[in-house]
Each structure stands twice: as C-alpha cells, then as structure tokens.
Amino acid sequence: MAAAPLLSLQNIQLTFGGTRLLEGAELIVSPGQRIALVGRNGSGKSTLLKIASGEVTHDAGVRFVEPKATLRYLPQEPDLSEFATTLEYVEAGLGPGDDEYRAQYLLSSLGLTGAEDPRKLSGGEGRRAALARVLAPKPDILLLDEPTNHLDLPVIEWLQSELDSLRSAMVLISHDRRFLSDLTRSTVWLDRGVTRRLDKGFGSFEAWRDQVLEEEERDRHKLDRQIVREEHWVRYGVTARRKRNVGRMERLAGLRQDRREQRSVTGSVNMQVSEGRTSGALVVEAENISKVYGDRTIVGDFSTRVLRGDRIGIVGPNGAGKTTLIKMLTGTLKPDSGTIKLGSALELAMLDQGRAKLDPDTRLRDALTGGGSDTLQINGQPKHVVGYMKDFLFTPEQANTPIGKLSGGERARVALARALSLPSNFLVLDEPTNDLDLETLDLLEEMVSEYAGTVVVVSHDRDFLDRVATSVIIAEGNGDWTEYAGGYSDMVIQRGEGVQARAAAKAHRPGKTSMAPIAAPTADAPKRKMSFKQKHALETLPGQIEKLEIEIAAINAALVAPDFYTRDPDGFAKKSKDLIAAEAKRAKAEEQWMELELLREEIEG
C-alpha cells in the first residue's frame, strides 16, 4: 500500500494580469520522494513551488500538507535582512528538538563562519546561508528553487552529497542537469499551465518530453485535417439541400474551438553567433605566467597553448582566480612574470559573469544595438532589432523596457544576445549558464560546439562542460593550475577526484607541465584499479570497432552503386540511415576506448 502523501496540490489554477499561468497543475509528494520540477522559464515553476510552500495563494484548487510534517522552502532570492548574523538567521529556522549544533556545522561546510552580517553578503553567500537554514532541521519536505545558483563547483558537489544523505522528500528546480539526474527519481513537467508526471528521474525526462511533443504535433495535424474536411462539407456537401445538418455544424464549431484552445509550445531561442575573420592557428601561448596579489599567489608558473577551434573550460572554487587567468589569457592583464603571446587576427567577444555592462536604465533595444540605430549586423547581414529580439524570445512590446525591469533569465538572454551579435573568432563566456532554462542551454551548447572559432568558458555546470569542452583547466590551490584533456568527467577520471582543491600542504612543483597526469599514489594511499567491466570493455572494444569499420565499408560500397538510388530509393534511404548509425556507434566506441586506455596508462604509469 502506497504511503499517504505529505504534500498534495490538486487542480491548481492561478491568473496573473489577465493571463492564466496555471490551469489545473498538480503536485503529489510522498515520503522520501525526490522530484525534479521542470519547465521553460516563465512557465510557472517557481510560482507552483511558492504555492506548495504556502507563500502564494492560488485562485482555485486544493493544497494539502500533512499537519505533522515539517516543510522548508528555499526561494531564489532569500531575505536575511532582519537578522544580525548568519548564525542567528539559520538558527531561526530550527524547530523544537532540532540539533542546534547542525546550524554551525552547515555554515562551516558552506564556507561561512556564522558571524557574517547578512546585509553585506554577496548573492552566493546569501544563498549558502539560506541553504544552511533549510537543511538544518532535516525537514520532511524540502522545496528547493535553483539551489545551485551562484554556487561554485566544490559547494555544488558538497550540496549534492548532503542532499543525497537526507531522508527528506524533495522537489528540486534547477538548470543543472547533472544535479537533477543524480538526485531525482521522478519528474513533473509544467508546460502551458498543466503538469505531466514521469515516474523516472530527470535523466529519462528529455527523451520522454520529445516523444510527448511529437505525439501532440501528430494530434494537432489530425485535428487540422478534420477541420479542413468539415469545412469542405459545409461549403460543397449541401448544395442540393437548403437545410444544413445541425449536428455536423456543431461538430465543426467544436473542432474549431478545440484548435483555438490548444496552447502552442513556447518558442525556442534562435541562437546564432556572428562570426568574424578566421584567426591564426595559434590563438594564445602562455609560458610560465604568474600573478601575485600581496602575499597570495593567484597563478603560479602556468603554461598552456590554445589553438584555433579549442574549447577550454576553466573550473575551480570561487575566489581561485578564474577571472584573473582569463584576463591574462586574453591579453587584458599582464602577468607579473612569464610571457603571453596572442595569435593574429583575433576578434574577441566576452560575456561577463555579473552582466555588469547591462545598465538597468538602458532600454532593451538600445542594449542590443548600442543605441542610435534599429538594426544590427549579424554575420555581415543587417537585421532589425525587433526580429533579433524575437530570436531570443522577447516580444516587440518589450523593446522599450528598461533592463532593470527584466527577470534574471531575461537579463541572461540579453547578455547572450549582445555578446553573440559581435563579430568574433575568440569567444569568452564567464558563467553563461546562469538563469538559463534547459532548452536554451541545449541551444547554447549546440552553438558553442559548432562555433568555428575558439571558446574559453568558465562554468560550474558539469554537464555543460562535458558537452562542449575539449580540455579543462582546474585550480589546484596555492596558485597551481592544471589542464586535462576532455570534459569535466574526463578530468575527474584523470585527476581521481572532483573540483575540490588539493591539500594546501601539497608542495608546489615548479616547472610542471600544464597537461599533467594524475599524481602517483603514495604508499599510504590505496592503489587505483580498473574494474572488471572496464578491463573487459578495453579488451573487446577494438574488435567491435573493427566490425563496425567492416560494416561501414560494406554500406559505402552499396551506396556508390550507380543505379542503386534510381532502382530502389527506399533501400538507398535505409542504407544511408544505417551508415549514419554505424558511424555514430564507431565514434562512441572509439571515444570510450580512448578514455579507458588513458585510465590504464595513468594507473600503470
């Protein structure tokens, strides 16, 4: 028998400014469940979570919370202003019988002392304090709205581990795919005012969503054809009769009403980058560069080469010096020692982390054009600012809206739109994923992957780095930086751990190469080993690759037959699909073999 729900929202309806935001949304949370709440920006996810927490009152529907259950809610913008210290703020969230020492433990784990003045905290520090407050009582229900926003990777990894250890039921809103995939077991999709539920974690969501949308499109097409048939009957089927069939006319009216009431899927961002001239093959060469502020080494004796087409990810804790490293690599900050050589014909475009260049009083249209014009040049072609706004999901009515009046997600889209409109062959993105929804993230990943120039990206999004980076530079601590081939997961395999900085006592290794293998285990450390599954894959993958190459050669031989297409066009199309599938399998197998071979060399060497 299923456990009674701790929290239940049924047939929730809410209207904002004459627009129906929620049209019968539902959310059922049972003990221990971990639910991903997903949907486009503006779909009402945060509002639904506020209704669940009791902060917002709905127009219609039923909200039920088990009377004995404890519930804690993390908003996107927590308010700490009424408290003298962060410790006082966190302790105020404890209930009778809760462990008061847990408040200090959580603050320390999140990098705070408890003595901070809440009115002087940065956005990231305020979110850490708010996380400590909601986690401290170990509540029965946790409602978390973008818990990873403004957090660096060490804290995200710690938070994921802490949440995984709790027995609380959770509802999570996040743009961090890895975070959602690892933690959730169910998914609620809020789309066009209604919810759909998948009893699988976020890792299975996107394939399911695409299938649902395809089915909807087929149903919409069928409905359109029905309307055409009925309209044809109305016009031509009663020419011999003066009196129309009332029932059939009512059916036509009903079909038209159904079609009007179908809310279309929210549009997608049409993201493209304005590419400049082709740069030289060498983009940046750094030799033994260093930067010291006071008695602190930010970058010490670091070397790297960046070639055209490289996509470099830079990761590390907040304050490690990622922005300082970027400034040196782009030539805007001179190193204290060492040399920086920039390639020829570079055209730089930058997206800064804080969106600092977005004046809150500037109109949207002026922020995109620079003012004084209604057009932009995109890839050498003029484009009206309103059309460019539509590409990034802004309406024409928003053209004169001040930047300060836009939401966080909208400001993120403005910053991206402006950065991508500048002709460039060297793109620097500092935290580009902040406040973007998953669909926009997909398009950003696709754009970065297909960009003909060179990209340097600072990000705390592990999945984003896995999808776009060709190498990752990580802050090791004490000014040490190391570069690893591949994405974030490749770095973890080679390094043997996540982004947490190595022990401060570890001696600085002068003159170390930038592409460093994982350090050899000490006598006290357990020796790493390959699992049986990894060894078996390493042994069998070459045979699989050879079979795929034979299959690909046979398909190519069939396709080049001069009369194949004219003789059997369907067979030709099938063979072409088979070729694409086989090449994809071969590429995946080769990539897997290379990763395992690297791992074997590191363990044995």
Q: Which residue has the tokens 């990622």?
A: 322
Tell me how far apart the alpha carbons of residues 325 and 319 are, in angstroms, rounded to a whole number: 11
Residue 300, marked binder: no
Token pair listed for 36? 């991903």
Residue 320, marked binder: yes
Which of the 8 DSSP states describes residue 309? T
Pairing between strand 169-173 and 141-145? parallel
Which of the 8 DSSP states describes residue 424? B
Which of the 8 DSSP states describes residue 310? -
Q: Which residue has the tokens 């070397």?
A: 303
Tell me how far apart the alpha carbons of residues 348 and 276 are, in angstroms, rounded to a whole number: 9
Tell me how far apart the alpha carbons of residues 137 and 70 are, in angstroms, rounded to a whole number: 9
Tell me how far apart the alpha carbons of residues 445 and 465 are, in angstroms, rounded to a whole number: 9
Tell me how far apart the alpha carbons of residues 378 and 394 are, in angstroms, rounded to a whole number: 18
Residue 582, marked binder: no
Element (H, E) at 194: strand 194-198
Residue 42, marked binder: yes
Task: Provide the 3-class DSSP secondary structure of residue 125.
Answer: helix
514 CB contacts (<8 Å, ≥6 apart)?
Answer: 302, 303, 304, 473, 481, 482, 483
Task: Provide the 3-class DSSP secondary structure of residue 326.
Answer: helix
Q: Which residue has the tokens 């999709």?
A: 189
Q: What are phi and psi of 297, to 5 degrees?
A: -85, 120
Pairing between strand 454-458 and 296-307? unpaired
**Residue 147: exposure state from Cβ atoms within 10 A (0-12, 13-18, ≥19):** buried
Residue 186, marked binder: no
Residue 39, marked binder: yes
For 570-603, give one letter per residue: b (16+ CB within 10 A) or e. eebeebeebbeebeebbeebeebbebbebbeebe
**DSSP bridge pairs for 142:** 72, 170
Token pair listed for 458? 């600072």
Token pair listed for 447? 């754009």
Residue 318, marked binder: yes
Percentage helix, strand, coil, to 5, in the chain?
A: 40, 20, 35
Tell me how far apart the alpha carbons of residues 458 and 315 are, in angstroms, rounded to a whole number: 6
The single-letter code of the amino acid at 348 is L
**Residue 569: exposure state from Cβ atoms within 10 A (0-12, 13-18, ≥19):** exposed
**Residue 543: exposure state from Cβ atoms within 10 A (0-12, 13-18, ≥19):** exposed
| Per-position DSSP letters for 512-569, written without gaps between them | --SSPPPPPPPSSSPPP---HHHHHHHHHHHHHHHHHHHHHHHHHHHHT-TTHHHH-H
Residue 527, marked binder: no
Residue 319, marked binder: yes
Residue 41, marked binder: yes
**DSSP bridge pairs for 299:** 291
Residue 482, marked binder: no
Residue 303, marked binder: no
The single-letter code of the amino acid at 232 is H
The single-letter code of the amino acid at 242 is R
Residue 204, marked binder: no
User: Which residues carry a binding-site annotation?
Assistant: 39-46, 316-323
Show binding-site residues for ATP. Answer: 39-46, 316-323
